[in-house]
Amino acid sequence: MKLLKDFFFFFLLLDIDECARSTHDCGQGQLCINRVGGYICQCPSGHVVNERKECVDVDECTKFAGQVSEDLALLY
């Protein structure tokens, strides 16, 4: 078990932060989040990634047509 912990610690020391180095391929408007051994690209809330790695707005009115939001229901 100690060998596994030592390996993990060594791996952490070797992690390359692609976000800080700007070597990631996140699209415009995406947030680069560093992970051990890599990174992820995250779109802002209310957006999803399309096939071209672009953040596109989710049209909640069309997607949830006819449904009332809990937040909205509290106003009535």
Picking from 68, 27, 64, the residue whose alpha carbon sits closest to that of residue 48 is 27
Mean pLDDT computed over 51-70: 80
pLDDT of 2 reads 66
Exposed / middle / buried, residue 41 (Cβ in 10 Å: 0-12, 13-18, 19+): middle
13 or 54, greater pLDDT = 54
- CATH of segment(s) 16-73: 2.10.25.10
Q: How sure is the predictor about 14, in pLDDT bands with cuts at 50, 70 and 90?
A: confident
Q: How sure is the predictor about 62, in pLDDT bands with cuts at 50, 70 and 90?
A: confident
**Where are the alpha helices (H) located in 1-76, listed in sequence order?**
2-14, 18-21, 60-63, 70-73
pLDDT of 1 reads 60
pTM above 0.85, yes or no: no
Give first-to-last CA distance, the chain, whole Å: 58
Name the residue ranges covered by the structural domains of the chain: 16-73
